[in-house]
Amino acid sequence: MLDKVQKYISENSLFTKKDKLLVGLSGGSDSVTLCYTLKQLGYNFSVAHCNFKLRAKDSDDDEKFVINLSQKLNIKCYITHFNTTEYASVNKYSIEQAARKLRYNWFEEIRSKHSYNYILTAHHSDDKIESFFLNLTAGTGIKGMRSIKPKNGNVIRPFLCINSSEIKEWCKQNHIKYRTDKTNKDINFKRNFIRHKIISLFEKLNPSFSNTMQNNFLIYNDLEQIYQQFIETAIPKIVNSSEKQIRISIDNLLNMPASRSILFEILSTYGFNPSQVNQIHSEIRHLQTGKTFFSEDYCIVKNRNDLILEQIRQEQSTPVILSEHLRSISYPISLYIEYQEYTANFKFENNKNIAYFDADKISFPLLIRNKQQGDYFYPFGMKGKKLISDYYTDIKLSLFEKEKTFLLVSAEEIIWVIGYRTDNRFKVSKNTQTILKISCNSV
């Protein structure tokens, strides 16, 4: 088994004996065997153990076992305790999800703080099969079909080349002691249900099911690489990105083969689930402009022939006051103020981000705020007044652009839709003596 693991490490260039490794050690047969394996193969490693406080005395006994093992192997041991149940409740995670997030976040803290090169876990080939079924039920796409990777960022799984039976047989032959987690038989946990109920049925149909799946993973991995190359080629033809937003051309998307999969790969990155992607794709031609879908941190809106994706921002609820003595402000938008004497040869810059007003017509303090119901102004160069909402529609602002557009207000009158158009009532005329010039960053 040691030769098999060493060959796997070398062939996949996972790490070298010069690297400083951190091993997640639960005390179970898998992680204990990984420690003995690394020790016998001559690798430099320390261990980290999480006490999740989920199994009362058993959890504390696991911790004691890990401490004793680390002393026996003469390796450094990091220990931490988590209130996993409380963390899961507050963050609305399952216990499995909570434990995983707590564990990997802490491992990464140690790795970064103490300059470890990699984090090692003892996931084996049976875990890979279980993860395949978990991914299948979660709808993670083709990436989920190839299941666990031997190397994912700073996390490495050097035991994917062996299975649980090999590990337990090795422990038996070498008289290696380990802890047994009784909850591993609790089928209320998804992974345990798959392990004890689903995979066992496949093994009845095919006694060599594990080997069959390992061969399948080789094929799935090749397919995923081909698929990824296609996606990487397709996305630039469909997506136009800027610092403010991501714009997806509906026409270009639908003209591509496998458009649903392309859309999934784009949107899943931002937390949209498969059912949302399917709904958007199936109704994309018939969605009304303004139709919006939300993930936890992002929203996507139909805007004519595009889908526009942006991060959800906190609404500005309180107007920002701009007093007369200020000459600049940086929040919620950068503005710069100056006064200039008006003369017959004064030159106006043709720039939508610069506004000129008759200073005598302006009353301070000014307010910077978002649009409110019933807001109107008298657009410069046009006759009569116009609702701000109608003006936004006329200039074809998307929902996101509307939310990010600010109004400059003087004595309850809108003097500037910032970055777009000023109000006719406050324009510079032949009677103007002093010009109030206000500039903003590019909108």
Domains in the chain: boundaries:
2-217, 242-311, 320-440
> What secondary structure letter does DSSP report for 132?
H
Tokens of 149: 């990777």
Q: What is the pLDDT of residue 443?
A: 59
pLDDT tens for each residue of 2-57: 999 999 999 999 999 999 999 999 999 999 999 999 999 999 999 999 999 999 99
CA-based nearest residue to 336, from 437, 415, 428, 410: 437
CA distance 261 to 223: 14
Q: What is the pLDDT of residue 108?
A: 97
Helix axes of 209-238 and 259-268: crossing angle, nearest 10 degrees: 90
Q: Picking from 58-62, 104-108, 315-319, which range would have the lowest pLDDT averaged per residue?
A: 315-319
pLDDT category of residue 115 using cuts at 50, 70 and 90: very high
Burial class (CB in 10 A: 0-12, 13-18, 19+), 49: buried
Is 207 in a helix, a strand, or coil?
coil
335 neighbors 328 (Cβ within 8 angstroms): yes
Q: Mean pLDDT over residues 387-397, rounded?
A: 91
- List, in sequence order, the alpha helices (H) in 92-147: 95-113, 125-138, 142-145
CA distance 68 to 47: 12
pLDDT category of residue 103 using cuts at 50, 70 and 90: very high
Give Cα 302 distance to the centre of its chain.
Answer: 22
Q: Mean pLDDT over residues 179-189, rounded?
A: 87
pLDDT category of residue 158 using cuts at 50, 70 and 90: very high
pLDDT tens for each residue of 362-384: 999 999 999 998 999 999 998 89
Q: What is the β-pairing status of strands 20-24 and 118-120?
A: parallel
pLDDT tens for each residue of 141-156: 888 888 999 999 999 9
- List, in sequence order, the alpha helices (H) in 139-180: 142-145, 164-173
pLDDT category of residue 130 using cuts at 50, 70 and 90: very high
pLDDT category of residue 403 using cuts at 50, 70 and 90: confident
36 neighbors 176 (Cβ within 8 angstroms): yes
Fold of 242-311: 3.30.465
pLDDT reading at 272 higher than 60 = yes
157 neighbors 31 (Cβ within 8 angstroms): no
CA distance 428 to 438: 13
Q: Mean pLDDT over residues 272-282, rounded?
A: 92
Q: Mean pLDDT over residues 131-149, rounded?
A: 88
pLDDT reading at 139 higher than 90 = no
Q: What is the pTM of this model?
A: 0.65
CA atoms within 13 A on the CB side of 255: 8
pLDDT reading at 218 higher than 70 = yes
Please provide the average confidence, as pLDDT, over all residues in the chain. Answer: 92
Q: What is the pLDDT of residue 316?
A: 52
Give percent of the chain above pLDDT 90.
75
pLDDT category of residue 242 using cuts at 50, 70 and 90: confident
Q: What is the pLDDT of residue 44?
A: 97
Q: What is the β-pairing status of strands 376-377 and 386-387?
A: antiparallel
Asked: is 320-440 a CATH 3.50.40.10 domain? The reply is yes
CA-based nearest residue to 322, from 335, 338, 313: 335
Asked: is 2-217 a CATH 3.40.50.620 domain? The reply is yes
For 117-156, b/e burial (b = at least 16 CB within 10 A) is: ebbbbbbbbbbbbbbbbbbeeeebbbebbbbbbbeeebbb
CA distance 39 to 41: 5
pLDDT category of residue 401 using cuts at 50, 70 and 90: confident
Matching residue, tokens 């939300």: 294
Q: Mean pLDDT over residues 401-415, rounded?
A: 91
For 386-401, b/e burial (b = at least 16 CB within 10 A) is: bebeebbeeeebbbbb
Q: What is the pLDDT of residue 397?
A: 84
pLDDT tens for each residue of 55-84: 999 999 999 999 999 999 999 999 999 999
Helix axes of 125-138 and 209-238: crossing angle, nearest 10 degrees: 50
Q: What is the pLDDT of residue 290?
A: 81
pLDDT category of residue 312 using cuts at 50, 70 and 90: confident
